[in-house]
Amino acid sequence: MSAQIPLVDYLVLGDAPHLVAHECTACGARFFDRRNACANCSKTDFRSVDIPTEGVLRTFTIVTFAAPGIAVPYVAGVVECGGTSVRANIVNCDPTPEAVSLGMKVKLVTVPVGTDEAGTEAVGFGFEPA
């Protein structure tokens, strides 16, 4: 098997792929990107927390126009995973209003996004119907 690297820093690959957020130790706000201070309370102490791999689709849109080279249509959504909002594409699902619905239960999946000349595969994530 070739080497794999996550497309984003907060995706952990391996036997049980999952997301990891930075949680403010003062107020509990969670962020996926690096922070010098909490956007909610301005404190500066964070801890890493694993995000549940199953969630509920809270909002979505079916994208029909995108930059050249991006296949359309696709579903972009916000998934609530145990109180943490995650923006991600909904994959392995027809991008139609009949197949996607608010409140739909979904689970995290990894998706290959490309391979370099050395054979290293970049891996992203999305959510699919549970």
Please choose, from the candidates 51, 13, 15, the residue with its C-alpha nearest in 3D space to the C-alpha of residue 32: 51
CA distance 28 to 68: 39
Question: Other C-beta atoms within 10 Å of 79: how many?
Answer: 26
Task: Evaluate whether 91 touches 109 at the Cβ level (below 8 Å).
Answer: yes
User: Which domain covers residue 39, as residue numbers?
Assistant: 4-129
CA distance 25 to 105: 29
**pLDDT 10s digits, 2-24:** 799 999 999 999 999 999 999 99
**pLDDT 10s digits, 26-83:** 999 999 998 999 999 999 999 999 999 999 999 999 999 999 989 999 999 999 999 9
Domain count, the chain: 1
Average pLDDT over residues 89-104: 96
Bridge partners, residue 56, by sequence: 80, 105
The predicted pLDDT at position 2 comes to 72
**pLDDT 10s digits, 102-129:** 999 999 999 999 999 999 999 999 999 9
pTM: 0.92
The predicted pLDDT at position 1 comes to 53
Cis before 73? omega within 30: yes
Task: Evaluate whether 127 touches 57 at the Cβ level (below 8 Å).
Answer: yes
